[in-house]
Amino acid sequence: MSDTVKLDPSSTRAITTGGKFEASAARTRKRLSRPWATVASIVIAVLWTIPTLGLFISSFRPRDDINTTGWWTIFADPQFTLENYVEVLQSGTTQLTILQSFVNSIAITIPATLIPLMIAAMAAYAFAWIDFKGRNALFVFVFALQIVPIQMALVPLLTSFSRGINLFGVQVTESIDASQGYAQVWIAHTMFALPLAIYLLHNFMSEIPSEIIEAARVDGASRGQIFFRVVLPLTMPAIASVAIFQFLWVWNDLLVALVFADGPAAPITKVLAEITGRGEGWYLLTAGAFVSIIIPLIVFFALQRYFVRGLLAGSTKG
């Protein structure tokens, strides 16, 4: 009676992220710890932080001071107020308040991140480990879709939505209520995210040693079991990295929101743009920017550990 070898995701992770990954990570840390790299990092960090610091200080300054003097004058004449934040939180459009649009952004961003990730993970697995006719040509076609500007797809999508698309029994037409507006934005963001997500996840999955996949097949695992029990656990760093980028892209998006998210489905980026008008209320952006940045900061710091691992995982070759 032969013994059956069971694959443990933790053990396979040790195989793929063992000595080779540690050696590559050590080389990366050594390069980044050199004096010139440290100086360059500090300079970049300072140049990146100064505008953010100025915007943060301006968000607490009175409206007249923002319009007449620079943020650095706060050190000579310190005056702080919370009026900008109060005004932003109380403002809105005729249909939405800023807090309602904040909830809309969450309702739009979470599905628009999870849906393309699920589809991209399965497609990347198929391209990496399932041999089918025309696989390479189809992958090149998917990769080439990244160069197609989003603007080229807006008119066909609007035409499709205007004619009506039945999505899980829900008729998606021009925006009538929030749920239909959400569906339109989910579809649009999913379509625009898939080419890059498939490409990135495919590159990560293709680096998994073939011995692990073959061992799972010998043990009688189906393609679905290999995907869910072997490939997915090993690909979590890359999935988390793609999730962060997709979440931030959707949360900060304005173009797709202007086209598809009308009325009660408008996200916070669109409402902030309408509040500021043509520049008359631009001072409110100082407070509005930090109100809208709360959720992205939480997501980034929650997934930061996986994000760093995902970035270093691409350096395991060589």
pTM for this structure? 0.75
117, burial (CB in 10 Å: exposed 0-12, middle 13-18, buried 19+): buried
Q: What is the pLDDT at residue 106? A: 92
Angle at 300 between CA 104 and CA 251, to 5 degrees: 25
42: amino acid identity, one letter: I
Pick left, alpha or beta for residue 62 (phi over 0 → left; psi -120 to 50 → alpha; otherwise beta).
beta
Q: What is the pLDDT at residue 16? A: 47
Q: Write down the residue that tokens 């797709």 correspond to.
A: 256
Q: What is the pLDDT at residue 120? A: 94
Angle at 176 between CA 170 and CA 179, to 5 degrees: 50
C-alpha 6/C-alpha 42 separation (Å) is 48
Instruction: State pLDDT tens for residues 3-23.
Output: 444 545 444 444 444 455 455
pLDDT < 70 stretches in the chain: 1-33, 92-94, 163-180, 277-280, 306-318
What are the sequence ranges of the domains in the chain?
Answer: 10-313
Helix (H, G, I), strand (E, B) or coil at 154: helix
Closest CA to 154 of 180, 188, 186: 188
Q: Write down the residue that tokens 């590159």 correspond to.
A: 203
Which CATH architecture group holds 10-313? Orthogonal Bundle (1.10)
Q: From residue 148, give the alpha-carbon distance in Å to each of 141, 145, 190, 221, 256.
A: 11, 5, 15, 39, 15
